[in-house]
Structure 1
Amino acid sequence: MTTSPSASTLREVPTIRVRRGSTSSYVGGAFVAVAVLVLAGWVPYHVDLGTLSNLVGLFVLVILAVTWNLMAGYGGMISIGQQAFIGAGGYGVIYLADTVGIPLLVSVPLAGVVCALLALPTSFLLFRLAGGYFAIGTWVVAEVFKLATTQIDALGGGSGLSLTAFSGVDRVDRVAQVYWTALVLMVLVVLGTYLVMRSRLGLGLTAIRDNATAASSLGVRVNRSRRIVYVAASAGAGMAGALIALNSLRVSPDSIYSVNYSAFMIFIVVIGGLGSIEGPIIGAVVFFVLEQELADYGSWYLVLLGVVAIAVVLLLPRGLWGLLSGNGRIQVFGVGYRVREVPGTSDQVQPT
């Protein structure tokens, strides 16, 4: 006759709950929403036009840093040639608006699409390289883009292009349009990155970053995932370049294809925190403040930026966000998994 096991033969196993969000992510999300509302509803009506133009520069830095971090911090691809798509986006928006006649607000995302289409075939060449060879390869691609641009008469050759689509538009209206466009694109890029990292693609990217060979053995399509991220990051760089062109009303090969953009992206992500969404945003704000405060020091400005970068790398390997978050205990954008024991609940199992 079979008898039921007594209570003494059973052991209690605590119930485990896995979730994506946390109290800090809910509070942080609310703070981010309020900040966006302030930037959208209060700032444009209480600051001067010069400050609005400077804020467009900050939004561009956030877009560049977040997309570069998506590629390098999550995809494991260190690029020093994203200025190729910044330049293509800058030239593209002026050509689409002035020559083709497409409205400016439509030309900016279209410039991003053009850069994505350029990045797709480029990726098949670059992905034959790895590590440092990949990084140098991206720089070579940027130089090829620059040289090709100077040979096209429709793009102004070596002298560049000036944006005429804003001719006759009041300066206040022009700055407002560029500001709103930059703010919307920044929010969409950050939100898109957040959604990607919460998807299966994001989980695969995390595995690729840790160990590409192990990720491939578990069924992750490494090249496909990296290609998607590379194309998306290039589209983001293209839209950032388009915003730079709208804000300055002119592009030239030496300025829009400058390697300084890649240096700034690396600096921002390193001091903010590689492999997080919050880090590049904080790094962009810090870089923006340093740029505004130290610009009058000439070449010493770059020296001071280098000193700051070295100090952060040596003292804070996980960046400023690693320090502020307690090495990941606090998250504003909850993209990871959190495992915790639910108090007051348990399951009973019979030992084998």
Structure 2
Amino acid sequence: MTHPVHSPAAGLVRTRAPWLALAAATGVTLAALPWYADFSQLRLLVEMLTVLTMALAWNLLAGYGGLVAVGQHVFVGVGAYCLFVLSNRLQLNPWLVLPLSTALTVGFAWACAWPMFRLSGAYFAVGSWVLAEMLRILAQNSETLGAGAGMPLETMGDVDRWTRNAGVYWAALAVGIAALLVVRGVLRGRLGLALMSVRDGEVAATACGVAVARTKLQVWLIAAAMSGAAGAVAYMNTLQVSPDASFSLNWTAAAIFISVLGGIGTFEGPLLGTALYFLLRQYFSEYGTGYLIGTGLLAIVTMMYLPGGLWSFFTRRWRLDPFRLRHRAPPPPSR
């Protein structure tokens, strides 16, 4: 009597198929939003997607790589200014310039990697903030970049409002989805293992054969690309870029708050943290100073009593293990 052969790959496909279908349906729904959502809703979604991308990048650097960059917003400013300058000077479509501005941000990150990686720990954190401040002061004193007033995105002037809003939203959606896929790919690959080993101990990682310098450089460039693309889309949405806004510490502060709230060193943490961050802002920002004090206290309480963030609470409560690909074991052959 022959017995059916149960392939583990087939079980895995059956397990993943519903999630793939759900992801595809969600993607189609999100892509169709410009035909149903109003202007303010699209602008909010663009902001959410860009902040999520920033949080994913910071969490990848600090949560998995141990590189706590307080000045990660330097890439936001560089990406935004690259897009505005290239689009205005060369009279190019800003959506076509977006990949080029992202590539230039990566080039800038590569150029400043050598001096930055000579620092470590708190010195690296402060050094990244100093780098961002240097770029902000440089932009403020550059007439070519519009000095303190910044510069508008002139090439958007002839684009009708619906096309502009929809195009910016689709760009933000593409950047957000790409960031999620890149981070998940990194964490499930060799680079993710190398990152976590470097975070836990550089000496031990070197002894195990991990190329520490190359690993740091790779994650630094990936985070720069994500942050630069997010910054370019964010200021494409406002049609104006300025030094104080694009090189603002608020970008990094939001990324840190979101990561702490959702769970540093987890893939799901930035997703949960972004949702809660904007939920709190929508309902409590009208309280002004009280809102800021409340969010600060919330971050402190989370770090004290739930250091793993909200995601750690859910994983303990329901014993979730999102990275393990589960499938049913094949039944024993009948006799």
Are 1:44 and 2:13 counterparts? no
Distance 1:205 1:33, change over 3 A: farther
Could you tell me which runs of 5 or more consecutive residues in structure 1 were left unpaired when the two chains were aligned: 1-16, 346-352
Partner residue in 2 for 1:67: 57
Structure 2 residue aligned with 1:280: 270
**Whose relative contact order is higher, 1 or 2, with alpha carbons under 8 Å and at least 6 apart?**
1
Find the counterpart in structure 1 of residue 308 from structure 2: 318
Cα distance in structure 2, aligned partners of 1:320 and 1:127: 32
Q: After the TM superposition, which residues 244-323 of structure 1 pair with which residues of structure 2 at under 5 Å, given as runs? A: 244-323=234-313
TM-score (norm 2): 0.89
Give me the identity figure in percent: 36
- 2:92/2:155 contact within 8 Å kept: no
Distance across 2 between alignment mates of 1:58 and 1:314: 27
Structure (1/2) with the larger strand percentage: 1
Query: Against the structure 1 CA distance between its residues 251 and 208, is the aligned structure 2 distance closer, same or farther, given a 3 Å change threshold?
Result: same
> Cα offset for 1:33?
4.0
CA offset digits 1:148-196 (Å, max 9, x no partner): 2123221111221111111122111110000011101110111011111
Structure 2 unmatched ranges of 5 or more: 1-7
Equivalent pair of 2:55/2:258 in contact (CA under 8 Å) = yes
Which residue of 11, 34, 41 maps to 2:25? 34
Higher helix share: 2
Asked if 1:151 is matched to 2:137, the reply is: no
Kindly state the Cα deviation for residue 211 of structure 1 after the two structures are TM-superposed.
Answer: 2.0
Find the aligned partners of 1:343 and 1:273 in 2 and give their Cα distance.
38
Aligned to 2:204: 214
Following TM superposition, by how much is the alpha carbon of 1:328 offset from its aligned partner in structure 2, in angstroms? 9.3
Tell me by how many angstroms 1:299 deviates.
Answer: 2.2
Q: Distance in 2 between matches of 1:136 and 1:22?
A: 47
Show CA shifts across 1:246-269 (max 9, x none): 111111111111111111110000
- In structure 2, the partner of 1:173 is 163
**Whole-angstrom CA distance in 2 between matches of 1:112 and 1:300:** 37
Provide the C-alpha distance between the structure 1 equivalents of 2:274 and 2:282, rounded to a whole number of angstroms. 12
Contact 1:25/1:330 (<8 A) preserved: no
3-state secondary structure, aligned to 1:72: helix
* Separation (CA, whole Å) in 2 of partners of 1:203 and 1:271: 24
For 1:321, the aligned partner's letter is W
Q: In structure 2, what is the Cα distance between the partners aligned to 1:305 and 1:23?
A: 42
Match of residue 86 from structure 2? 96
Aligned residues: 324
Cα distance in 2 for residues equivalent to 1:24 and 1:311: 38
TM-score (norm 1): 0.85
In structure 2, relative to structure 1, the CA distance for the partners of 1:209 and 1:25 (3 Å cut) is farther
Matched, 1:118 2:108: yes
